[in-house]
Amino acid sequence: MANQFKIYVVNDTSSIKDFYLFLAAPDELAGDSEVYANSNTFIKIKGNSRDQTNSFTIPIQFVFEVGASNRAVALNTRIDSSTPRDIQYGEQWQATYFPPNQGPNLIKSGSTNNPKSVAIRTIPYDKDTDEGDGWFGSQSFGIKTSSGFAGMTWSPDPGETRTLVPKLEFYIATGTFGENVLADWTSVSSDPAIITEDDFSAGNTGEATVVRTKSGGWDVYTGKLRSSALAAKSNQLSHLYQSHLAICRAHEELIKTAGISSDHNLLGEECVECVLESATVDIDDPGNSTLMGNGDNKITGTMTVSKVLGSIGVGALVLVGGSRFSISNILGKTRFAFTYSGPKSITAISALLVAAKYVSICPSKK
């Protein structure tokens, strides 16, 4: 197991951002609305920062912290604990709170039943009287960082014991957080990068890289990615996009060629070229033939084109990708009903009309 973690952060957006590190809450605290996220660990990173090296260094050292001040534990309140203690798995600690203007005490008091857990017990005290006098206790659990602390804070209850099973899972979030200013978990966990223990590389220092992408999403990579590797990944994505775009354009030209040029050659006459705006096939028409495409099938439907039909009327020939349709009724200035008779199935004709972008309409049928 690593002795420490290191998370490299890359800001691929165009604007400067504050990146805050948070420790995910143990299951025993998750969902408790009176437990707040608390961190003083953040990095301010300029936009398009691939030429910079920014990172969080996180020794694997959990801590309990206790404090008391004239500020109540509540959302958007700054809580600075005065008594931090390094803790080990399997340890139980004891917190003692005193009347106003005196700080609390925190000592190791024993062991937990679960060797993978830690616990903190609060000695009974007159909490209501102290808070009535404006003196508020606090308790925190978290992990040490190169900048200080990342964890969570709550108001202790007299006589309460909290037993926690820590997990090495981290959030990196951008937003309007503040150093040691308590935040609700909803705002922290609504759109963070999530880094689990499995995301770190092997070795004494487990490394991972987090990228805030141009689109506002997150990418998490195992290990440290060099700027050249990040650029290569970006180039790969760009190449894939350009390749896909080229395929789409080639397909469009193929449809155009098959639907217009070949159709002109097929007819041997000048036809009106139109963009096919929409088309439907009467799947439920009982007069339509089998879906299998066996023999001479009859298929009906409608088309809407980009040009006014004008003098073109019933009986005109419509060519789509080499297939012939006949106008059976004029339904509007640019909309008409068609009939297809041929070997293609309803499924094939439907697919043809979905793919087609252009049609040729000829005023007379040959």
pLDDT at 356 over 50: yes
Q: Which two tokens stand for residue 169?
A: 């899972």
Strands 218-222 and 205-212: antiparallel
Q: Average pLDDT of 151-157?
A: 96
Give the pLDDT band of residue 287 (cuts 50, 70, 90): low
Write the pLDDT tens digit of every residue in 60-89.
999 999 999 999 999 999 987 778 899 999
Q: What is the pLDDT of residue 307?
A: 86
The 3-state DSSP class for residue 9 equals strand
Between 211 and 313, the more confident residue is 211
220-258 exposure pattern, b = at least 16 Cβ within 10 A, e = fewer: ebebbbeeeebeeeeeeeeeeeeeeeeeeeeeeeebeeb
Kindly report the average pLDDT of the chain as a whole number.
85
Q: Average pLDDT of 225-230?
A: 58
Q: Average pLDDT of 273-285?
A: 81
Domains and CATH numbers, the chain: 4-228 (no CATH), 258-362 (2.40.10)
Q: What is the pLDDT of residue 269?
A: 52
- Cα radius of gyration (the chain): 34
Least-confidence region, from 26-30, 141-145, 224-228, 239-243: 239-243
pLDDT at 365 over 90: no
Q: What is the pLDDT of residue 70?
A: 94
Query: Whose CA is closest to 219, among 200, 238, 202, 195?
Result: 195
Cβ–Cβ < 8 Å for 362, 319:
yes
Element (H, E) at 55: strand 55-59
